[in-house]
Amino acid sequence: MTPPEAEGQGHSAPTQSPPAASLCASRAKPEVMRNRSDFLRAASARRQGTQGFLLQARARGDESPAIRVGFTCSKKIGNAVARNRAKRRLRALARAVLPKLAYPGWDYVLVGRPNATIGRDFALLLADLESALSRIHSQTGGQRK
């Protein structure tokens, strides 16, 4: 037999903070690119190298305001465990930076680099992505499209 719950405890207790889903709804979540043709189009557009990764970006030119992002790590990174770790770090970078600094209607591809993507401090990777985005977008005249 369970003891009776005091008022303000258990299932009937009022919640103090909003649910986590509503906190993340204020920022647009980037869509993930999966088609090879999208990656090839991004590879033929602007590139900005950093110490931790390579950023490829292009304006799609369609009417969709969505931000799309792709991730790639070759076998030069290492075995499957190392490649998956590098992609996890790149995904975390994209979640942290792209909603704030990415332009709507653009595609971005983050390409992992051997030893650097896994071994570089995460704060430095964040700074790398922010500076790479500002350099890529400064080439467009600073206009959001």
Per-domain residue ranges of the chain: 28-138
Q: pLDDT tens digits, residue range 7-48?
A: 656 555 555 554 444 344 446 788 999 999 999 999 999 999
Contact 62, 105 (CB under 8 A): yes
CATH of segment(s) 28-138: 3.30.230.10
Q: pLDDT tens digits, residue range 98-141?
A: 999 999 999 999 999 999 999 999 999 999 999 999 999 998 66
Work out the angle at residue 67's Cα, subtended by the Cα atoms of residues 36 and 73, and round it to the nearest 5 degrees: 40
- 10, 111, 119 from 75: Cα distances, Å: 51, 12, 16
